[in-house]
Structure 1
Amino acid sequence: MNRILKSRAFKTTVIAAAVMGVAGVAQARDQIRIVGSSTVYPFASYVTEEFGAVTSYPTPVIESTGSGGGIRLFCNGVGEGTPDITNASRRIKSSELERCAENGVTDVTEVKIGSDGIVFAQSSTNAGMDLTLEQLFLAVAAQVPVDGELVDNPYAKWSDIDASLPDREISVYGPPSTSGTRDAFEELVMEAVSEEMEAYGGEGYTEIRADGAYIDAGENDNLIVQRLTEDTDSFGIFGYSFLVENANSLSASHIDGVEATPEAISAGDYPIARSLFFYVKNQHAEEVPPLYEYVDMFVSETMIGEGGYLTDIGLIPLPEAEREMARERVAQRGTLQVADL
């Protein structure tokens, strides 16, 4: 399965940039164009390859651009040079949907496909590590409270934060600012912790340190995985599915005493859990006939249900009622409104 998935990812990525850069007026075509989240990418890649194999349509073109980058491309307008679908590892923002509308993208359907956890992982050659959300925040925040005052982060080693932690330098490979994983990490870790700290005045603080302890590793989570196998003293931040794919070489820290498991993530017990989405540009449906056929395949029980194909590669299924709601929203071509966000 892993070899097939890597082959699919390579094939779809190498042709994506050339196709997605073509601008022009809308015209009929039978190849779907998809951009967006690197976390959702493995799941969408599986569906695109299956779609190409079992239908008469060509395999959709898919590019991993990050959630923010994908939504930006998606919202650029309607027409040949813009994508039909964008994947996202966090919900679209009201400001982004407003920009869509300003550019003529006025009929968008939101589809929730499953749950995911953000893991804080390292090489499995190391002893496991338990962290609190606060310790994780103190490791990566640009400014932290010391004696009641905010100062530039002075922590060079994990043991500087807490003597019970390893005497290892803080080195974290993480996603860039365009990533949905970064957005979710900032919300679920940075904001959640800082809002409870008096030094921040009750407001969420999300600035990541830029002194070399946090390394922007780009949108490709597989590169973070590769670096952790080479740099065994470092940690990485990425989606749970990449941990599943590399369980033989990586292990994830427990957060607030909770292990990242499908059950804990689905139940909301794991502190850094989030939902996964994709967004459909309904205004392209007439000119791109296979669009809804692909969407129907993606939300089918065969793909996202309990025991579905995508669970084999790390997708955590939604409860049955939520899966049915997703299919109903697709069937009705429900239009997302700013008021819904």
Structure 2
Amino acid sequence: MKKVLVWTFAAATIMAASSVMAARDSISIVGSSTVFPFSKVVAERFGRATKFKSPTVESTGTGGGFKQFCGGVGVSFPDISNASRRIKPAEFENCQKNNVKDVVEVLIGYDGIVIANSVKSKQVTLTRKDLFLALAKKVPNSDGSESLIDNPYKTWKDVNSTLPANKIEVLGPPPTSGTRDAFVELAMEGGCKKFEWIAALKKSDKNRYKEICHIIREDGAFIEAGENDNLIVQKLNANKNALGIFGFSFLDQNSDKVQASFVDGTEPTFETIADGRYPVSRPLYFYVKKAHVGLIPGIAEYLAEFTSEKAWGEEGYLTEKGMIPLGDEERARIGKAVAGMEPLKSL
């Protein structure tokens, strides 16, 4: 009798949860502003071509998206979280803690992080070392000693004598953004490692190493412009001396207004990002809550649309939006895993 009661209670709980979930009749997607335009166009096409409502897509930033997504299971929480970097171990653990157990990871393609300025200005050529020295909170002492000082550089010429004497003004994303995380890791750290004594700290004192390489100055040289990359484009158009940080897709969509800087001798293009020559490039993802599949209408069908050749293929409509596609074998492997809803086991 006790077993029957336990089973009845469990079944009732599941049925109640299903009933609550069914109260929402469209997919809820949050997360990365970089992945937003790709997710949005898939959502729109999906809504027009199927019996399901178009998913609601919100640009909250990667970190903000994971915070909502990992908050729990149920109608109050998003079904999918877009990300311009891989989920962090702490975020994955937060999901597990809040009973978001089966999370499906979907690598969708690649993007480059561009450092751009107005087309009214001269195109800029930078190195990752230049970017680190211009934007780090603390930089190596110019006397050659293995010590740090508060960043004293006011102009680009102060950083590198071959650069113009323009004031350092860089518009970029906030700490909640995956673009910020990727820029810090790929560009800032990439330049930071050029100093051998700092690079050596990665093995001996990793926390100190990250503190030096990852912390951006807060004296006005770096200006947080929110999660709206279109706003950065507008501000660059108004200020010809400023630089801005955003994803390649926004450059691709606004090439009449802004141009990309060369970084370490390479200009970000579809080809240089795809083959890895451009040094500030990163993978793009979205994450799916398996517990919601079959309860919130259309999730499996949305995933099928996103991972179809007409969408994410080499000549798919997402490439027209600036996404760099995965290789054929990678798409086939990931597409199969998505169709089978294989959850992420660990990081």
| TM-score normalised to structure 2 length | 0.89
Residues of 2 paired with 1:27 and 1:289: CA distance? 8
Q: Distance in 2 between matches of 1:132 and 1:123?
A: 19
Give identity over the alignment, percent.
51
- The correspondence for 1:324, drawn from 303, 324, 332, is 332
Tell me which of 172, 186, 190 is aligned to 1:192.
190
Checking the alignment, whether the CA contact within 8 Å between 1:116 and 1:239 is kept in structure 2 is yes
Shift of 1:192: 2.6
The question of whether the paired residues in 2 share the 8 Å contact of 1:256 and 1:271 is answered with yes
Q: Cα 1:233–1:101, aligned 2, differ >3 Å: closer, same or farther?
A: same
Structure 1 position 88, deviation (Å): 0.3
Mapped partners of 1:329, 1:198: distance in 2: 42
CA shift, 1:313, in A, is 1.1
Q: Does 1:177 align with 2:172?
A: no
The one-letter code sitting in structure 2 at the alignment partner of 1:321 is E
TM-score, with structure 1 as normaliser: 0.90
Contact kept, 8 Å, 2:127 with 2:191, in 1: the verdict is no
Letter in structure 2 aligned against 1:59: S
Alpha-carbon distance in structure 2 between the residues aligned to 1:93 and 1:334: 19
Asked if the contact 1:116–1:276 (Cα under 8 Å) also holds between the matched residues in 2, the reply is yes
Amino acid at match of 1:335: P
Task: Give the Å deviation of 1:170.
Answer: 0.3
Separation in 1, partners of 2:339, 2:23: 22
Residue 52, structure 1, aligned to residue 47, structure 2: yes
Rg comparison, structure with higher value: 2
Structure 1: any 5+ residue segments left out of the alignment? 1-23
Q: Structure 2 CA distance, aligned partners of 1:64 and 1:113? A: 17
Q: CA deviation at 1:190?
A: 2.0
Q: Amino acid of the residue matched to residue 79 of structure 1?
A: G
Asked if 1:301 corresponds to 2:296, the answer is: no
Q: How does 1:112-123 map to 2 (within 5 A)?
A: 112-123=107-118
2 CA distance for matches of 1:195 and 1:284? 43
C-alpha change, 1:163 and 1:186, in structure 2 (3 Å) is: same
CA contact (8 A) 2:294 2:300 kept: no
- Which residue is equivalent to 1:41? 36
Contact preservation (8 Å) 1:145, 1:199: no
Name the aligned partner's letter for residue 269 of structure 2.
Answer: T
Aligned equivalents of 1:309, 1:235: Cα separation in 2:
29
Deviation at 1:28, TM superposition (A): 4.5
Partner residue, 1:209: 217
2:75 to 73, 80, 92: 80
Q: Which amino acid aligns with 1:137?
A: F
Given candidates 159, 162, 165, the residue that maps to 1:164 is: 162
How big is the shift at 1:129?
1.2
8 Å CA contact retained: 1:26, 1:78 = no
Shift of 1:197: 2.0
Among 196, 202, 218, the residue aligned to 2:226: 218
The one-letter code of the counterpart of 1:164 is T
Offset at 1:198? 4.1
What is the total number of aligned residue pairs between the two structures?
A: 316
Q: Quote the residue 1:7 is aligned against.
A: none
Q: Is the 8 A contact 1:123 1:229 kept in 2?
A: yes
Do residues 66 (structure 1) and 61 (structure 2) align? Answer: yes
Q: 2:250 matched to 1:250?
A: no
Structure 1 residues 17-62: Cα deviation after superposition (integer angstroms, max 9, x where no partner): xxxxxxx953353200000000000000000110111111111111
Instruction: For residue 195 of structure 1, report the CA deviation from its aligned partner.
Output: 3.5
Unaligned 5+ runs, structure 2: 1-18, 203-208
Question: Cα deviation per residue 1:217-255 (whole Å; 9 max; x = unaligned)?
Answer: 001111111110111110000000000000011100000
**Offset at 1:334?**
0.6
The whole-number CA distance in structure 1 between the counterparts of 2:196 and 2:326 is 36
Which consecutive aligned stretches of 4+ in structure 1 deviate over 4 angstroms post-superposition? Answer: none
Residues 28, 151 of structure 1: alpha-carbon distance in 2 compared, 3 angstrom cutoff? same
Q: 2:86 maps to which residue? A: 91
Asked if 2 retains the 8 angstrom alpha-carbon contact of 1:74 and 1:82, the reply is yes
SS of residue paired to 1:309 = coil
Indicate which of 125, 138, 143 corresponds to 1:143: 138
Q: Which amino acid aligns with 1:83?
A: P
CA RMSD of aligned residues (A): 1.3
Q: Would you say the 8 A contact 1:122–1:252 is kept in 2?
A: yes
Maintained 8 Å contact 2:137/2:150: yes
Amino acid at match of 2:195: M
Q: Does structure 2 retain, via aligned residues, the 8 Å contact 1:118–1:185?
A: yes
Tell me how far apart the structure 2 counterparts of residues 210 and 248 of structure 1 sit (CA, whole Å): 31
Indicate conservation of the 8 Å contact 1:25/1:81, yes or no.
no
Deviation at 1:325, TM superposition (A): 1.4
2:318 aligns with one of 307, 310, 322 = 310
